[in-house]
Structure 1
Amino acid sequence: MKHTVLAASILAGLSGQALGATYTLSELPRYEGAKYTFISDVNNKGEIIGAASSNFNLPIDISYIDFEDVDLKNAYDNTKESFEAIDEEISFTLDDIKNGAAATNADANAFMLNFLSARTNNAKYQKIQDRVALHIDAVSAQEQVLFDVETQATNGLTRSVSNYLTAISEDGVIVGWGSAPFSKETFTPEGESDAETFFVRDWASRGIVITTQGEKITLAPEFSEHGGFSMATDIKKLDDGGYLVVGQSSVGIPENRQTNYDDSCDGKDEPIAVCAWQRQLSSQFYDLRAFQWKLDENFSVLSTTDLGLGLTPKDDENDAFVSAALAVNKSGVAVGYSPYREGDDLYPYGVAGYFEGGEFKPFKTLENWYELGKATDINNNNIAVGYMAENVRGSILDQYAFYYDLNESKYVQLPYFFKGSKTVATDINDAGYIIGQAEIEKNSSNRRREGFIYKIGDEKVTNINDLLPCKDSNGENYPYTIAEAIKITESNHIYAIATKTVERRDRLGNVTKDSNGEIEYETVTLPVLLTPNPDGQVEECAPPEAETYERKSGSWSALSLFALPLIWLRRRKLTLTRASS
């Protein structure tokens, strides 16, 4: 976002001892219907897209539930014992839920959400996705519906769909992806006399383009059998008025996966749609490729392009192969990841690189087959950023951020906060400033991450929290901790996700109190804007042990559950989680 502060003065304030300039933090609007609010992208006009999770008042459909079900009764008994273990009395019965208590009693609502969550992969139970997409302006954060529909059973939207907005163009056109809503279908298995209820959907993911007028254009996958799969991860407006969108599309199914489908999905024991959905829960059902859609100024699709794969599958390789484009610049250079083969050496996990002429090219000379990584962004000067790591026996080791200059074929590993600090670079502006997040604790089994900023050519990364005040305007310890740096503008304004302690709210949105009637508190995530102050000075904060409230008190354990979708999707998308359940 280009603000009235001159970019030149800001860059001057950030050069050399630049990072000695402080930042002023402004809290951006949060979504009122959920605990956690995130940013995924921002354009130069300051138009923001994002998401919210841990939503209040999620609808529970009880119309199909057998309240004599043994699993349900056992789950209730276990919950009741948990209350008794802390000397509290459970506030609801199963009969209460049968009569609608899940909509009025927060504990009953939480119980049913937990019960359904444990049966995510069972097609006989309601599906709920606890995430909504957001369009954020100066005063509020509003939900952006992608593919969901309203039903009588849920008295509103089904809340059964995935919702991801990933990028916004300079003129406000949004791209992302989501799933089809689940619907109830009655089906009588062969040889049975009683019909059963199943929850089915048409497809796992579709890329979507949302115009400034709110029109929605679906990006169809190249291969759509059994539903198919597509997603959009970035968009750039072209000089001719059209748009370039990149992401991923299904292009086929490995022969052994198709054989398994043909043998299993006969429509005798369950609807064929259920059988297809269960197989799509595996990320290895479709062959997925980095993909590009070119649209004209009226959003008609002019062409589609398979951007390629870093290898040619051999005749005896029956597994699915997956590549993805995560970002593209105005020149049309797309970056992302792909499995790769050099000679007889296969790098199966996917490594960071770029796509050119239908081929994938890794950014670095690979040394070990267990290397992996993703490129997360590329600026208009053809400098890409991302991360690389090693997967050793299922553990991710030595994860570090990098930048790669395509003009000079130059690969540079960014410095660590400390050796072993897992680091991810998420964004780079055209001036060469890189942001991301990295672990800040050496000796912890649950290392917290905080945002960093780095200028190409510097010797170290700087923790963004070190550029913020030590105290707030009331003299209290600063209440915000920057956990993720998401977007840096050309004027070095940073849009980020911070943690802050606020009043705890239950699943219905009510403020909670303890047994003594005292209000409870919790750490949540919220979006913030950091504005450079060229005249500021870095403050020397008192060490944590000297403070009654640690400045860096944001809970990564709380953040890990809800903020990881943003870390792995970037604004976008570091890992393209299929979210197909």
Structure 2
Amino acid sequence: MKFKLEKTLSLVAVGVLSVLQGVQAAPVYEIKNLDADTFNLNGTIANTRNGYGMSVNNNDEAVGAAKGKKKLTVDENDDGVIDIEDGVSDAETITYSVNLPILANNFTFTSIKNDANTPWLPTFESVNGTTAPTFPEEDTVNSVDTFYYGINDAKLKVGAMTATEQQLAYSGSSTTQEFWYYREYEQRGFVKDDTDTEIALIPPYFEYVSEQDDGDVTVNIGGFSSATAVNNANMITGYASTDISASSESIIDSCVSNNSETAPTDICVQNRQFVNTYGYSDIQYQTRGYVWRYENGAITEAKILPLGLEPKNDSVYTSQGLGINTAGVVAGRSYVYRNGNSDKLYFDAAYWTEASDGSYEYNWVDVDTVKDVRSSIAYDINDNGILIGSYNKYIEGYTRDKFFYIDTSDANAEVVTPNDLYNSLSDLSSRGRSINNNGQVVGYIETTHDKEKPRPKAGFLYDIDKEEFSNLNDLLTCKSKGFEKDAETDKWVRHQVEVEDGSGKTLTYSSEIVIVEANSINDSGTIVGTAFIRKPSYEFDIDGNIVIGENGLPFFLLDGYGNPFTSFLPRMMVIQTDGTEASDEWKAANNCIDESGESEDYVRQGAASLGWLLMLPLVWLRRRRK
């Protein structure tokens, strides 16, 4: 497969080329959760910083996840709490410890077109007893992190959560610590219906029996599971733990035998299950994909998705279900020996079909036709059997992901890698995340050819029948990009946002909105995902608190010209089309490309996707307690 490598281009040049070459008849889209007056993107729940749109059904009902509570500052003059939008420092990955309370920083929300107050307004929804994020941080009762991943047309929602915090009386050497902190499990899938009936998907393996000299000891190690997608037949796919590795058994045996010498068994096990800075836990589970059926408020069956190989040793092997169509065909990935060669162990895209006896059969997605693929993954499959995903390989000396699709209904079909932004194959990494029954695919693609720097990303739309690959930002109306018509010149200019700082001075900055990832598309073409919106950067003191003026308002970081520094924040976006196509006349009239080009903030923020949350294991992000 030949890749045509283009020279490095600016974001503006990429936009121009893709408009000229890639959207001859593509639809025009509009961001629907954009405030018409303030140009603010209503893309997260109150008191959170980041929002991500994860899935949308055919009734224009979406689910998402929010991350990051606002940082509070207390006014020392009147002891009042100041609520400042987006007034938080950058998100931190905390060091987990059994010696500190567990604080939640991830929340679930719904967003629907027919919202009684504001269309598509993100609305907090409780899972596992969580309450909406509030001020101040010290009053927060949440210790549960929650995520929504999917929703079907009957409003059945699926996702993953942690257990609630538990406390155990401290008996160590510290004279100030009162409790140890732990939880029963680190990750568990769940399903929630429209009547608020909520069911946890308990994995088949969650207890370990430790053989000790004075008798066997059963230890609740929690196990883990995740629900990643749900179809309209109320079939749910995901993955769950079925066993642990031999090394993990030794760790737990040691925790039991040393009970109370260093810490109680539950605390010792918890400490070894917390993820490290690399996102891994010392206790490793065997993982298999699963399909659960939900009926009348209960899980009525659970079926395993087998590996693509017969294990030859006690190493950890994994299969995962990530997408499911109406017929129950599952898309995902599994370890496999390519072409039966035990010397070629890979983690590859796969799909599973039901056999005549009701069990699931494994099918490998043959990526060997692409040559030199290091790994691959399938994210979704539509009712016509078109499966989408991405593979990873070296291109020009660098590892890149490339979006692919394959027709699983054709026994002779091969993996297809579509032409992308330049109407040719390039070295731009891309991933397809969702496909509807009309053959429209959405995902993300890189937009520059820098070799050594992080590359900014943009959401894409690909139409399989028309073979059209479009940068979604090129299909947006000018207003959806942050532009407005100048009454005097009749030209499109960026909307100027006005903010007052702590000295009472009014500052302005230019509005800007960029779609960076599309995660889901329904059959009518509604797309949800993530967009960056430009916001001013606040000034913090050495303790990490926002600097507040006498008027109770924050100070902003300013450049040498007295203008506020800005940065991009991720927010859920919802875009829809009225059926209008992007004709040449429309493109000429919609000439609102920002000639200032790409910003450095956009480059640094290029990896704001929540797609990693579908992977194993989850790395839970929480705000550090001051």
Q: TM-score, normalised by structure 1?
A: 0.77
Preserved CA contact (<8 Å) 1:513 1:520: no
| Residue 487 (structure 1) aligned with residue 490 (structure 2) | no
Deviation track 1:112-163 (CA, whole Å, cap 9, x = no partner) reads 986xx54x23221233342211112332322222225579997654443321
Of 164-173 and 472-481, the range deviating more from structure 2: 472-481
| Residue 372 (structure 1) aligned with residue 372 (structure 2) | no
Counterpart-to-counterpart distance in 1, 2:26 and 2:171? 69
Preserved CA contact (<8 Å) 2:378 2:388: yes
Counterpart-to-counterpart distance in 2, 1:372 and 1:311? 16
| Residue 513 (structure 1) aligned with residue 524 (structure 2) | no
| Aligned partner letter, 2:418 | L
| Residue 122 (structure 1) aligned with residue 121 (structure 2) | no
Deviation track 1:411-439 (CA, whole Å, cap 9, x = no partner) reads 21222436221110011111111111110
Preserved CA contact (<8 Å) 1:345 1:369: no
Once the two structures are superposed, the pairs formed by residues 128-147 of structure 1 within 5 Å of their partners are: 128-137=103-112, 138=115, 139=118, 140-147=121-128
| Residue 384 (structure 1) aligned with residue 387 (structure 2) | yes
Decide whether aligned partners of structure 1 residues 447 and 112 sit closer, same or farther in structure 2, where only a CA change above 3 A counts: closer
| Aligned partner letter, 2:524 | S
CA shift for structure 1 position 376: 0.7
Once the two structures are superposed, the pairs formed by residues 378-527 of structure 1 within 5 Å of their partners are: 378-390=381-393, 397-409=399-411, 410=413, 411-417=415-421, 419-443=426-450, 445-459=453-467, 461-470=469-478, 472-474=483-485, 475-477=492-494, 479-504=512-537, 512-514=554-556, 521-526=566-571, 527=573
Partner of 2:328: 332
Of 221-230 and 252-261, the range deviating more from structure 2: 252-261
Counterpart-to-counterpart distance in 1, 2:200 and 2:566? 42
CA shift for structure 1 position 508: 8.8
Of 367-376 and 210-219, the range deviating more from structure 2: 367-376
Once the two structures are superposed, the pairs formed by residues 203-352 of structure 1 within 5 Å of their partners are: 203-225=185-207, 226-238=221-233, 243-265=234-256, 266-267=258-259, 268-280=261-273, 281=275, 282=280, 285-296=284-295, 298-314=296-312, 317-342=313-338, 343-345=340-342, 348=345, 350-352=347-349
Deviation track 1:491-532 (CA, whole Å, cap 9, x = no partner) reads 223223222213446899997423679665432222232324
Partner of 1:66: none
Counterpart-to-counterpart distance in 2, 1:327 and 1:112? 32
Q: Which has the higher helix share?
A: 1
Counterpart-to-counterpart distance in 1, 2:262 and 2:343? 40
Decide whether aligned partners of structure 1 residues 528 and 237 sit closer, same or farther in structure 2, where only a CA change above 3 A counts: closer
Counterpart-to-counterpart distance in 1, 2:81 and 2:372? 51
SS across alignment from 2:249: helix
CA shift for structure 1 position 278: 3.2
CA shift for structure 1 position 17: 6.6
Counterpart-to-counterpart distance in 1, 2:536 and 2:143? 28
Specify which of 30, 33, 45 is matched with residue 24 of structure 1.
30
CA shift for structure 1 position 319: 2.2
Partner of 1:564: 609
Decide whether aligned partners of structure 1 residues 446 and 515 sit closer, same or farther in structure 2, where only a CA change above 3 A counts: closer
| Aligned partner letter, 1:455 | D
Deviation track 1:304-362 (CA, whole Å, cap 9, x = no partner) reads 11111111111xx2322111100111101011011111433355552111123444322
Structure 1 residue runs without a partner (length 5+): 1-15, 59-90
Counterpart-to-counterpart distance in 1, 2:605 and 2:70? 17
Instruction: Work out the percentage of aligned pairs sharing the same amino acid.
Output: 21
Once the two structures are superposed, the pairs formed by residues 28-177 of structure 1 within 5 Å of their partners are: 29-30=42-43, 31-57=45-71, 117-118=93-94, 120-137=95-112, 138=115, 139=118, 140-148=121-129, 156-177=139-160
Decide whether aligned partners of structure 1 residues 192 and 442 sit closer, same or farther in structure 2, where only a CA change above 3 A counts: closer
Structure 2 residue runs without a partner (length 5+): 1-21, 35-41, 208-220, 354-358, 486-491, 495-510, 622-626
Preserved CA contact (<8 Å) 1:469 1:539: no
- For the aligned residue pairs, the C-alpha RMSD in angstroms reads 3.8
Q: TM-score, normalised by structure 2?
A: 0.72
CA shift for structure 1 position 375: 0.7
SS across alignment from 1:237: coil
Decide whether aligned partners of structure 1 residues 413 and 370 sit closer, same or farther in structure 2, where only a CA change above 3 A counts: closer
Partner of 2:364: 362
Counterpart-to-counterpart distance in 2, 1:128 and 1:549? 41
| Aligned partner letter, 2:348 | V
Once the two structures are superposed, the pairs formed by residues 197-208 of structure 1 within 5 Å of their partners are: 197-208=179-190
CA shift for structure 1 position 165: 0.4
Deviation track 1:84-107 (CA, whole Å, cap 9, x = no partner) reads xxxxxxx99xxx9xxxx998799x
SS across alignment from 1:263: helix
CA shift for structure 1 position 479: 3.0
Counterpart-to-counterpart distance in 2, 1:236 and 1:182? 32
